[in-house]
Amino acid sequence: MFPRAIVRLKAEKRVLGIYHFQEHAGFLADMMEFLAILNVLRVQNRLKTVDLCYIDDPTNPNRPVSRERVETSPEFKQMMLELRALLPSIGAELHFDSDVAFEAFFRTHYRRYVCWPQYGFLHSWPSHVNYSRISERGLAFPNTHTPLNHYFDTHGTLPKLTCPPVHLKWARDFVRRHVSPAVPVAAQIRFNAESPARNTDLAAWKEFFRRMEARSELKFILLCLREEIVPELRSLKNIIYSKDHASGLLQDLALIQVSHLSIFPDAGFATYPWFCGLPSIYFAKQKYDFAQRRMQDETGTGLRFLSSFQRRRLGDCTADAMEKEFWSLWNDLDSAGWKNPYWTED
């Protein structure tokens, strides 16, 4: 018999994802990108499992831009945590309310892990973080696209995030009951007073949906918070709200995953199809310099790992522009004979 301590030295190596709610700046889309990076590191290093550490020490004085939202909305923090289900092969999930406690764990188990962000063995918090600086090591934005770009440059694709099977089944059943025989198109709408510049242009989107009402072959599944519902859109026969059927966060993402394509304003769910390999159109009013630097994409016209079916359109949002972009993608998918691989169960 070997001593147990020696046996433990041979424990499998894993990825360790570290997310600190007072050190790391991020909203829902940022968390999805963080998870996509962990998935890349798992596959790249031929590892089976990702362990997750969440830290939220109230004595840490750092204040990332997302901190106020976390403090004022417990539901928002819970949504951030729920997204972990998108990662294949999750192992341990650890929560620390003390920087010191996490650091003790980190130094004890450091050599077992491929860590992201890439903290050194002797690192400690609070850090003297400069939130205007982009680090390729994931500090203090653990969703910098460097690992994604490096993997894509080598392999020409990214490993996929996915909703758990139970949520995909719920989404397929939803479509069969409420959408079929029409083709499902997921559409997110957004109305958030904290960043109104990113909100849905309601007049343009309403007119777009109204024009599409005559096309009986498709139906829009609207995704939003309950308080963002626009009641008058219920009068359109090509509209159904997921929240009218008690959907949660993962169920909404599953509806995106089983839909033929998805359309978005400048909102949190827009990045999810990128990491599932699914067609989408992202309508944003402007590009943001900091986000472009974080993505290492100064032009704002495309990300290197996006396919020709994953489109970003910047500028004024009008019904004419939306209709043009929608039918362009629709027709391209039709010409390619594209079928959603998630529509049928494995």
What does the pLDDT read at residue 8? 53
CB 300 within 8 A of CB 287: yes
What does the pLDDT read at residue 7? 46
Q: How confident is the model at residue 129 (pLDDT cuts 50, 70, 90)?
A: confident
Among 10-14, 269-273, 334-338, 340-344, the range scoring the smallest mean pLDDT is 10-14
CA distances from 333 to 37, 171, 214 (A): 28, 22, 21
How many Cα atoms within 13 Å fall on the side-chain side of residue 115? 18
- Spatial distance between the Cα atoms of 62 and 128, rounded to a whole number of angstroms: 8
107 vs 317, which has greater pLDDT? 107
Q: What is the mean pLDDT of the chain?
A: 90
pLDDT digits (tens, 9 = 90+) for 70-100: 887 888 899 999 999 999 999 999 999 999 9
What does the pLDDT read at residue 1? 45
pLDDT digits (tens, 9 = 90+) for 12-32: 899 999 999 988 877 888 899
CB burial class (10 A; 0-12, 13-18, 19+) of residue 217? exposed
pLDDT digits (tens, 9 = 90+) for 247-295: 999 999 999 999 999 999 988 899 999 999 999 999 987 666 656 667 7
- Spatial distance between the Cα atoms of 233 and 222, rounded to a whole number of angstroms: 10
Closest CA to 147 of 171, 117, 179: 117
Angle at CA 263, nearest 5°, toward 261 and 264? Answer: 145
What does the pLDDT read at residue 346? 54
pLDDT digits (tens, 9 = 90+) for 161-171: 999 999 999 99
What does the pLDDT read at residue 295? 73
Residues in Cβ contact with 326 at an 8 Å cutoff, skipping those fewer than 6 apart:
208, 212, 263, 281
What does the pLDDT read at residue 82? 96
Return residue ranges of the chain for CATH 3.40.50.2000.
Answer: 165-336
Our CA dihedral for 65, 70, 73, 75, rounded to 10 degrees, sits at 130
Q: Please, what is the end-to-end C-alpha distance for the chain in angstroms?
A: 42
CB 31 within 8 A of CB 38: no
Q: How confident is the model at residue 41 (pLDDT cuts 50, 70, 90)?
A: very high
pLDDT at residue 6 above 50? no
pLDDT digits (tens, 9 = 90+) for 134-172: 888 888 888 889 999 999 999 999 999 999 999 999 999
pLDDT at residue 235 above 50? yes
What does the pLDDT read at residue 117? 94
Amino acid at 98: S
Our CA dihedral for 116, 306, 209, 176, rounded to 10 degrees, sits at -80
CB burial class (10 A; 0-12, 13-18, 19+) of residue 209? buried
Q: How confident is the model at residue 302 (pLDDT cuts 50, 70, 90)?
A: low
Angle at CA 183, nearest 5°, toward 178 and 189? Answer: 75
What does the pLDDT read at residue 11? 74
What does the pLDDT read at residue 197? 77
What does the pLDDT read at residue 264? 94
The fold of the 165-336 domain, in CATH, is: Rossmann fold (3.40.50)
